Structures are given as structure tokens and as C-alpha cells.
Amino acid sequence: MAKKVLVAVFSASGRTKKVGEKIAAVAGADFYEIKPAEPYTGADLNWMNKNSRSSVEMNDPSARPGIAGNTLDMAIYDTVIIGFPIWWGVAPRIIETFLESYDFSGKKIIPFCTSGGSGVGRSDTALHNNVTGDVKWAKGSQINRPSEGAIRRWLEEVL
């Protein structure tokens, strides 16, 4: 039986969404956008303002922003490629909300990030704490502006 793959991404600016859609197209995977229940405004994303919504969330390890839309039938997927921008050196809190919302037992999770300045860093291993059960983790990768060939090579390594 062929593996069923999901590409799930959170994208504040649209950049991570574009990369995720490209990965899903190359992989023949389903695509799901993790949308916040309360969309982020430009002011919310101002990382230089310590009182902005994103700054407050990232400084609170227990923050779990809500997710809008329908829930997924995670049972049909063998592999989940999860994408996010790097915020404060790690994944945004909404990624923790997503991971804590589903049972990933028996699945492979492949994280990727987009970033204007920093790499994956500790973001992929930090996410391990948000998932319980028997999960196989691939090493996280930074993917900003990939060609189709680069995506194919990456997928051959991680799938």
C-alpha cells in the first residue's frame, strides 16, 4: 500500500505556504494550511514590539493559539510534513497547538522551516515534546526557495 502523505503548514506571510504547496505538489501529498482562529495582523507580527501578539505568545511557553477550520482525519496519513516560519529561534506556538491536537502514533513527522535569518536550530527537536506515542522524526530542514529538483532530492532523503 502506498504511503499517504500530508503537508501541513502555518504561514504568517505566505512564504511558508508557497514552499509547502510546492512540496505537496512534488510529493503528490495532501496540503493543509494551519490557519489561526484569530488571523495575525501586521502589528501582531511586529517582533520588535515586546507587547505584540506574536511576542507575547512566544514568551509564554503555555500559549496555544486556536486553529480555524475543520479538523483532519489524521488516521489516514502515514507521514506528516510540517512547515513553519522560525519565530524566536523555534516554531510558532500554533505549531504546538497543531501537534497537541492529533494522535501521531505510528507516523513519521518531517519538519521544515522557512527563515530570513536563522536555520532550523532547536526548533525541530523542541517539537518532540508536543507529541506523545511512537513517532518517527526526521531531522528538520530549512527550505526557503527550493527548485523542484531540490525538493525531489530532499523528499528522497526524508520519506
Domain boundaries, the chain: 5-34+71-158
DSSP 38: S
Give the DSSP H or E segment for 98: helix 93-100
Whole-number Å distance between alpha carbons of 138 and 127: 12
pLDDT score of 5: 98
Q: Of 63, 71, 84, which Cα lies nearest the Cα of 7?
A: 84
Whole-number Å distance between alpha carbons of 159 and 77: 13
Residue 106 sits at the vertex; the CA angle it makes with 28 and 64, to the nearest 5 degrees, is 85
CATH superfamily of 5-34+71-158: Flavodoxin domain (3.40.50.360)
Query: Does residue 110 or residue 47 have the better pLDDT?
Result: 110
Task: Give the predicted TM-score (pTM) of the model.
Answer: 0.94
Q: Of 73, 74, 70, 49, which Cα lies nearest the Cα of 59?
A: 49
pLDDT score of 2: 59
Whole-number Å distance between alpha carbons of 143 and 102: 25
Query: Does residue 49 or residue 126 have the better pLDDT?
Result: 49
pLDDT score of 75: 95
pLDDT score of 6: 98
